[in-house]
Structure 1
C-alpha cells in the first residue's frame, strides 16, 4: 500500500478542487439564502473561512507527519484505542457521506433527466463506478482528478459570468441580510461543503513535497471558495433572496436562465448537468476511496482493493434509507454539521496534543 512520492503540488491541488466541487453545488445557494437572505454571499465566505481552518489543521499535521495518514499518526499522538475510535468515526462519516452523495445524484437525475428510471438504478450505477475506480493506487487517483478538474471549473465559471447580465445588484443588499439570526446555521452548512478536503490527509504521504501541503490548501480554498461565492452572488442577484428560497436547485435554474451570446445555446442546463455528473463522480470517488483505504490502514491490511466491492452494498443501503428528497436534504444538513467535529475539531485537537507532547513523525 505504500505509494511512491510522485503526487505533485499541482495534482494535490486539483484533487482538492475536484473533490470539493461536487453534488452540493446545485442546492447550496438555497441553504445560504435560508441562513441570511441577501447576506448569502457573506454566509458562504464565512463558511469557506471556517472550512479553511480545518484544512490548515490537516495540512500542519501532514507536514508534521509526512509519511503517515491521519489513521496512522493519530495512534502516535493519542494512543491506539482513542485513535481507533476517532478513525472509526471518520470512516463511518465518509461512508455515510458517500451514500448521501450517491442518493442526491440519483434524486436529481430521476427528477431532471431520466424521469422513468428507478432511483435505485441511478444510485447503484454511480456507486459501481466509484467502486471500480477505487481499486487503483493513489497515483492513478491523482491522475483522474487532474484530468477532470478543468472540465469542472471552466464551464461553471462561464455560466456564472454569463448569468450576471441578468443580475440586479440591489438584490444583494443589505450584505449582512435582512434576518441574520440564521447566519451561524448557514455558515456551518456552507462549511460542510468542503469536508471532502479531508482526503488531503491521505494524499500528503504520497506527495513529492509534503511540506507544501499548506500551499495546496490555500490554493484549493481560494479557487473553490471564489467559485462558490460567485455562484451564490449570481443566484441571489439574478433571482433575489425570496425567489431563491423557492428553488430546490438554484444553480440549475441559473443555468436554465443563461444563454450563450447570439443564442448559440438558449439554455445551458443540459451542458451544466453533464459537467455536474462529472463533479459528482470525482467527489464520490474521493469519499469512497478514503473510506476503503482508511479501513485497510485501520486494520493493517496490505491492500485496499479487496474492500472496494465489500463496502458497496453497505453504502447502497445507507443511500436508500431517506424516504424522500426533503428528508434527504434534512439528513445532509445534520450529517454535514456533525461532520465538522471530525473534519475540523478532531484534527485541531490532534495538532494541539502533538504540539504539547512534541510528537513529530519521521521526515526521512
Structure 2
C-alpha cells in the first residue's frame, strides 16, 4: 500500500479542521445549548468545546506519535489485527451515518426555508453527489478545496454574527451559570458531538509535511471553529433570550433574518447566510465522506479509495431518508452523536494509553 504524499502544510491542516467542524450543526446549536442551560448556554457551549478539545488533543497526540502511519495501520500495530478491524469498521460505519444525517438535515432546511416545492430526496442526493465527486480527489486536492472555501464560510459568518449583536440585550445572558440546568450534561455531549469532525486529523497528519506541528494546527483550528460557535450562541441568546430561543427550530437562521447591513443596504441577511451555510455543509460532508472511504480503503488494504465513493452512495442516501420527520432526525442525531464520542474520544485515548504503556512509537515515513 502506497504511503500518503507529504503535501499538507500546517495552514492547510488548520483550514481542513475549521471547515470540517463548521457545518450543518451551526443552525440548531443555540437550541441545544439553551435546552441544556438556558442563560448558561454559552457556558454549556464552552464546556462542550473543552470536551471536544480533549478528543482532538488525544487524536493529534496519537497521530504525532505514529506520523508515518495511517490510523488503521497504527491501531493494528498497537492493539493487533482483529481488535483494530472492529474499531476501524465502527469508525467507517459511524462517519457514514454522520454523512447521511448531515445530508438529510441539509435537505430538510433547504426544502423548509427555500425550495418549498422541491422533493427532499432531490436536495439530499444533489449534495451527496457533490461530496462524492469531490471525495474522489487525492489529499492535495482535498486540502486545496478546504483552503479555497474556508474564507467564503468563515468571514461572512463572523460578519453576520457580529452585526446581529447590535440588537442584543446582555441581560438575557444572566446568570452566567444558568438558572435552570436540567439537562446540562446531555446538552454538553450533544454540542460536543457537533465537533467530531476533528477526527479528520487522523488522515491529515500522515499527509503533513511537518507532522510534529500538528498540535499547533489542531489548537488554532479548534480555537477558530469553537470561537465562531461560541459567538453564535452568545448572539442568539442575547438577541432572542433563552425562552424565545427554545421555540425556534433553527435559531441561527432566525438570527440572520433579524440582522441588516449598515444603512439598510440589505434588510435581511438570511439569504446570504444560507449561501454561506450551504458551502459549510459541503465542506463538512466532503470531509466525513472522504474520511469514510479513505478509512475503508486502509481497512481492506486497497490502493485507491475512489473505488468506494460511488459504491457507498446508495447506502448513505438510503440511511439519510430513513427518519420520518425533522424531530425524529434530531433524536437520532443526538443518539448517534453521543455514541460516537466513545469512538472519536475514547478509542484514540485507549490506543494512546496502550502505546504509552508498551513504549510504542512509529517512525516518520
Q: TM-score range by the shorter chain?
A: over 0.9
> 1:254-273 residue pairs with structure 2 within 5 A?
254-273=255-274
* Aligned twin of 2:117: 116
Q: Does residue 100 of the first structure (1) align with residue 108 of the second (2)?
A: no
Counterpart-to-counterpart distance in 1, 2:270 and 2:70: 39
Unaligned runs of 5+ in 1: none
Unaligned runs of 5+ in 2: none
Structure 2 counterpart SS, 1:178: coil
* Aligned twin of 1:233: 234
Say which is worse superposed, 13-22 or 179-188, in terms of deviation.
179-188
Q: Does residue 36 of the first structure (1) align with residue 26 of the second (2)?
A: no
* Aligned twin of 2:200: 199
* Aligned twin of 1:220: 221
* Aligned twin of 2:15: 14
Contact in 2 for aligned 1:3/1:139 (Cα 8 Å): no
Contact in 2 for aligned 1:68/1:205 (Cα 8 Å): yes
> 1:157-172 residue pairs with structure 2 within 5 A?
157-172=158-173
Query: What's the CA shift string for 1:14-48, capped at 9, x where partnerless?
Result: 00000000001011110010000010000000000
* Aligned twin of 1:331: 332
Structure 1 counterpart SS, 2:59: helix
Query: What's the CA shift string for 1:261-294, capped at 9, x where partnerless?
Result: 0000000000000000000000000000000111
Structure 2 counterpart SS, 1:327: helix
Q: Does residue 359 of the first structure (1) align with residue 342 of the second (2)?
A: no
The Cα shift of 1:72 comes to: 1.3
The Cα shift of 1:156 comes to: 0.8
Contact in 2 for aligned 1:35/1:43 (Cα 8 Å): yes
Contact in 1 for aligned 2:7/2:139 (Cα 8 Å): no
Query: What's the CA shift string for 1:147-204, capped at 9, x where partnerless?
Result: 0011111111101111011100100001111112311111101110110110110010
Give the root-mean-square deviation of aligned CA atoms.
0.7
* Aligned twin of 1:246: 247
* Aligned twin of 1:144: 145
Counterpart-to-counterpart distance in 2, 1:309 and 1:283: 18
Contact in 2 for aligned 1:3/1:137 (Cα 8 Å): no
Contact in 2 for aligned 1:36/1:180 (Cα 8 Å): yes
Structure 2 counterpart SS, 1:56: helix
Q: Does residue 180 of the first structure (1) align with residue 185 of the second (2)?
A: no
The Cα shift of 1:363 comes to: 2.2
Please, what TM-score do these two structures have when normalized by structure 1? 0.99
The Cα shift of 1:71 comes to: 1.2
The Cα shift of 1:4 comes to: 1.8
* Aligned twin of 2:71: 70
Query: What's the CA shift string for 1:88-138, capped at 9, x where partnerless?
Result: 001100000000010000000000000000011100000111111111101
Structure 2 counterpart SS, 1:117: coil
Structure 1 counterpart SS, 2:305: coil
Counterpart-to-counterpart distance in 2, 1:316 and 1:38: 38
